[in-house]
Chains A and B, each alone.
Chain A
């Protein structure tokens, strides 16, 4: 590229303006990336949901329980392969800020329904045998420095008078995918059920929700309908949906995150366009005579457009790389700071690549208008203005 020295020389012509533009671009891109990461975090549950899994909740609401006896009845429906149930435990470990999701699980079937959670066999067997046992996700274990064999005290205020439950950490699970949820904490349903105080005995022998694995995803509509029909007009009516629909509904409880992110993202995008476009417009206007001379000595209109676009793309690329580096450094820190309030925030390679493509796209679009103006500029008129 013969004009390389000219492009770089022009780029660094006004250093303070360049630094400010790149800085604005980088900060805006950090914000944009953060929004994309939050959006992705809220959708992760939907994305990783098994197509062959259904979730049954009470028709009244997620906080309402259902009899544990439903499990056998559901299992009898043709097309259902395995059924397991969960409960929300909702305890506090040392301090309320140390939030992590705790689920009361059914050890007999949980592993069959969720094969993506990987627990070494010896640890799993120890957990099944130990009624006070617990399994923690690798991320949560790392966060609190737990290791297998530790005794974990968790204070609970949801079920009866405040009580500290103590668990033996029998195992640590991991997930198949690097962005899988390794933040959960599981305890045994039998332990939970036996320790429900008499004051809330209606909670005994119940499940918060059921998760079932199907023989085939094709059966999902039929099975869901069969389940809800079966329990219609009972004391505990059900609402059955696919796991992805359930995850999407759960995300919606936080408000219309997608709309919010799209709105803020659009503002950020147009701000980036304006910042870079304005810099390029000023830069081209300042160089009217120089561009006219270049045209006079034989530089083609297309090359003039290329020179302007190359410059705006360089600004966007520098700003983009800086912004993505900042985001890459900041997001794990933010994620740790908001643990419990938001799902884990992960900046994937795909997102980094998208960020880079986005930056280049903004660079091209913002340089287009001043570039076309420079391209169409008549040499005679431009020289007359000097």
Chain B
């Protein structure tokens, strides 16, 4: 269940408390996020919507340990990440976060197999163990027959599937998707969303997704709206979400 009221229930996988982020631009302070609270349980699928500049990607970056907040804390599976050093945070990301980007961001000179294998190169797995994991991940996204293809030889939807395989191959604690269908046609977008839903439903993955597309957002268990850095509205679909943002 997803909550934004800051009430403890003791079983949150991701717990955000009083999260603020301020940028300084040309001597002016821009507050992107304002004292947000958020609780996400294991297996939740939450979508973040909002206009450009509302702080969706900033929130995702903070949750993924790519950026540090000005105030507040983020705890994932018991680890408080907001005060981790840069190198510790890098290792934490490798272990706990799977990233899915809008532009896929695959390495063009590596095959689908090699792209998916990349996160495993940071582990102590042997070559044969890595192969097993990569083949499993590619079979989950239905691309076993394309493993030796380069990104340029794949369609946009297939590239995004490879990105998803790369994100899940190391079995991370949760997945962060930044506009995963933003660069795809409707049919491919549907396929990708079906795949993400399957990851949640069948594999118990926890997914946090940013999107502009209401159709895509509707596929999430819960949709939260960010308006000028504040969670202002809960999705109608989210039965358990306490409405409103925390200021």
Report the Cα distance A383→B100, complex, angstroms: 12
Q: Per-position contact with A for B155-168: 1 when CB-CB < 8 Å, else 0?
A: 00000000000100
Q: Report whether B101 and A2 are in contact in the complex, using a CB–CB cutoff of 8 Å.
A: no
CB neighbors of B among A1-60 (8 A): 2-3, 5-6, 9-10, 12-13
Q: Report whether B105 and A386 are in contact in the complex, using a CB–CB cutoff of 8 Å.
A: yes
Residue B110 at the chain A interface, CB threshold 8 Å = yes
Please give, as numbers and ranges, the residues of chain A lying within 8 Å of B94 by CB-CB distance.
297-299
Q: Per-position contact with B for A373-386: 1 when CB-CB < 8 Å, else 0?
A: 00000011001001
Interface size grouping (class) on chain A:
20 to 34
Q: Name the distance in Å between A317's Cβ and chain B's nearest Cβ.
A: 20
Q: Report whether A300 and B67 are in contact in the complex, using a CB–CB cutoff of 8 Å.
A: no
Q: Report whether B67 and A298 are in contact in the complex, using a CB–CB cutoff of 8 Å.
A: no
Q: Report whether B66 and A379 are in contact in the complex, using a CB–CB cutoff of 8 Å.
A: yes
Residue A294 at the chain B interface, CB threshold 8 Å = yes
Whose C-beta in chain B lies nearest to the C-beta of A379? B66
Residue A293 at the chain B interface, CB threshold 8 Å = yes
CB neighbors of A among B137-173 (8 A): 166
Known: A5-B114, A380-B67. Is A297-B166 also a contact (CB below 8 A)? yes
Please give, as numbers and ranges, the residues of chain A lying within 8 Å of B110 by CB-CB distance.
5-6, 9
* Secondary structure call for the A interface: helix
Please give, as numbers and ranges, the residues of chain B lying within 8 Å of A5 by CB-CB distance.
110, 114
Whose C-beta in chain A lies nearest to the C-beta of B93? A298
Q: Name the distance in Å between A109's Cβ and chain B's nearest Cβ.
A: 71
Please give, as numbers and ranges, the residues of chain B lying within 8 Å of A12 by CB-CB distance.
109
> Among the interface residues B87, B101, B107, which one has the most CB atoms of the partner chain A within 10 A?
B107
Known: A296-B93, A298-B95, A386-B105. Is A2-B87 also a contact (CB below 8 A)? no
Known: A289-B103, A380-B61, A383-B101. Is A298-B122 also a contact (CB below 8 A)? yes
Please give, as numbers and ranges, the residues of chain A lying within 8 Å of B201 by CB-CB distance.
none
Residue B86 at the chain A interface, CB threshold 8 Å = yes
Report the Cα distance A379→B67, complex, angstroms: 8
Residue B121 at the chain A interface, CB threshold 8 Å = yes
Report the Cα distance A54→B107, complex, angstroms: 69
Whose C-beta in chain A lies nearest to the C-beta of B94? A298
Known: A3-B121, A5-B110, A293-B105. Is A301-B61 also a contact (CB below 8 A)? no
Q: Report whether B122 and A293 are in contact in the complex, using a CB–CB cutoff of 8 Å.
A: no
Q: Per-position contact with A for B100-118: 1 when CB-CB < 8 Å, else 0?
A: 0101010111100010001
Q: Report whether B109 and A9 are in contact in the complex, using a CB–CB cutoff of 8 Å.
A: yes
Residue B119 at the chain A interface, CB threshold 8 Å = yes
Q: Name the distance in Å between A272's Cβ and chain B's nearest Cβ.
A: 26
> Among the interface residues B61, B105, B119, which one has the most CB atoms of the partner chain A within 10 A?
B105
Whose C-beta in chain A lies nearest to the C-beta of B178? A383
Report the Cα distance A300→B121, complex, angstroms: 12
Residue A150 at the chain B interface, CB threshold 8 Å = no
Whose C-beta in chain B lies nearest to the C-beta of A1? B121
Residue among B64, B90, B99, B121 making CB contact with A293, cutoff 8 Å: B99
B residues at A contact (CB < 8 Å): 61, 64, 66-67, 86-87, 90-91, 93-95, 99, 101, 103, 105, 107-110, 114, 118-119, 121-122, 166
Q: Which 5 A-B pairs have the closest CB atoms?
A: A298-B94, A9-B109, A2-B121, A293-B105, A379-B66
List, sorted by A's number, 12 A–B pairs whose CB atoms are closer than 8 Å: A2-B121, A6-B114, A289-B103, A293-B101, A296-B66, A297-B93, A297-B94, A297-B122, A298-B93, A300-B90, A301-B86, A383-B101
- 16 further contact pairs, Cβ within 8 A, besides A12-B109, A13-B109: A5-B110, A5-B114, A9-B109, A9-B110, A10-B109, A293-B101, A295-B90, A296-B64, A296-B99, A297-B119, A297-B122, A297-B166, A298-B93, A299-B94, A301-B90, A383-B101
